[in-house]
Amino acid sequence: MAVKQYVVIGLGRFGTSIARRLHEAGQEVLGIDIDEESVEDAEGYVTLAVVADSTEEKALTSVGIKNFDCVIVAIGDDIQSNILTVMLLKNLGIRKIIAKAQSKRHGQVLDAIGAHWVIYPERDMGERVANQLLSPNMLNYIELSKNYNLEEIIVPSKMAGKNLRELDVRAKYNVSVIAIVRSDDIIISPSPEELLQKEDILVTIGNRKDLAEFSSIE
Ligand code: ADP
């Protein structure tokens, strides 16, 4: 994987998780926070951490912010600082600005001033938890469109030992199995004769409602 340079502004819980994960993956991460203690705590999991107020243009230019590939604004509670920072970054011509929004309205402001990706961590996590409760066998999902998902679903126990033809998953549940993950292997486009095994994970595509039904089979 190519190494990219990231800046994470705001080393609270959210910023910390992003910085830590990127750093673990071998990426270069500059952490910025106005609070000295947060910067000291960050030293083990970022490439470099500095104390700075991101609402001051000088502070941003003095760390060479223009040379970075991507800047993540993870300031949460202080909405004013969050918006001001995004505005400054935009004026400085930063290539990719990701910003955390506290509410829908806040997100609309961030969109309007040109943030490239606005994220709503609380809302998205809430949706994920609800989806997990509605579909207990689902491990992970990607929204492909408003109605369609790609989902990883654990094989319902009553389906183990049967093949896809006799289970007739596509006709009965309106769900397409595009791959099967079995231990460390992946079977792409499984044949209809493929016998499902306990603990297989099915990679499926379908309408969200149909997938919810399929992933709730006992
Ligand atoms: P979380 O909910 O993710 O923990 P917080 O809002 O509690 O988010 O934390 C955001 C972090 O952003 C804090 O560590 C805070 O010190 C930092 N911060 C707030 N304003 C600025 C600023 N102007 N410049 C740099 N860091 C800031």
| 82 within 8 A of 75, measured Cβ to Cβ | yes
pTM: 0.81
User: pLDDT band for position 132 (50/70/90)?
Assistant: confident
For residue 44, is pLDDT > 80? yes
Q: What is the CATH number of domain 124-215?
A: 3.30.70.1450
Q: Which segments of the chain belong to CATH 3.40.50.720?
A: 5-119
Q: Does the beta carbon of 77 sit less than 6 angstroms from any atom of ligand 1?
A: yes
Complex ipTM over 0.90: yes
For residue 101, pLDDT over 80 is answered with yes
Which has the closest alpha carbon to 75: 38, 112, 43? 38
**Does ligand 1 have an atom closer than 6 angstroms to the CB of 54?**
yes
Q: Does ligand 1 come within 6 angstroms of the Cβ of 135?
A: no
pLDDT of residue 149: 95
Considering only residues 133 and 153, tell me which one the structure prediction assigns the higher pLDDT: 153
Residue 135 pLDDT class (50, 70, 90 cuts): confident
pLDDT band for position 190 (cuts 50, 70, 90): very high
Decide if 157 contacts 216 (C-beta within 8 A).
no
**Mean pLDDT, residues 44-60:** 97
CA of 93 to the centre of ligand 1 (A): 23
Closest CA to 66 of 5, 110, 112, 107: 5
Q: pLDDT digit string (tens) for 136-153?
A: 899 999 999 989 999 999
Question: Is 76 touching ligand 1 by the criterion CB < 6 Å?
Answer: yes
CA distance 70 to 116: 10
Confidence of residue 217 (pLDDT cuts 50, 70, 90): confident
> Start-end ranges of CATH 3.30.70.1450 in the chain?
124-215
Residue with CA nearest ligand 1 atom 12:
10
Euclidean distance between CA atoms 188 and 200, whole angstroms: 13
Q: Which atom of ligand 1 is nearest to the CA of 10?
A: 12
CATH code of the domain occupying 5-119: 3.40.50.720
Share of residues in the chain with pLDDT > 70 (%): 100
Residue 184, number of CB atoms within 10 A of its CB = 5
The closest-lying atom of ligand 1 relative to the alpha carbon of residue 38 is 14
Ligand 1 neighbour 82 (Cβ under 6 A): no
Residue bearing the CA closest to ligand 1, atom 17: 10
CA distance to 53, 82, 118, 139, per residue, from 107 (Å) = 22, 11, 6, 28
- Residue count (the chain): 218
102: CA distance to ligand 1 center in Å? 13
* Nearest atom in ligand 1 to 100's CA: 3
C-alpha 54 to ligand 1 mean position (Å)? 10
- Cβ proximity of 89 and 24 under 8 Å: no
Q: Which residues fall within 8 angstroms of residue 206, CB to CB, at 6 or more apart?
A: 148, 149, 151, 173, 174, 175, 176, 214
Ligand 1 lined by 12 (C-beta under 6 Å)? yes
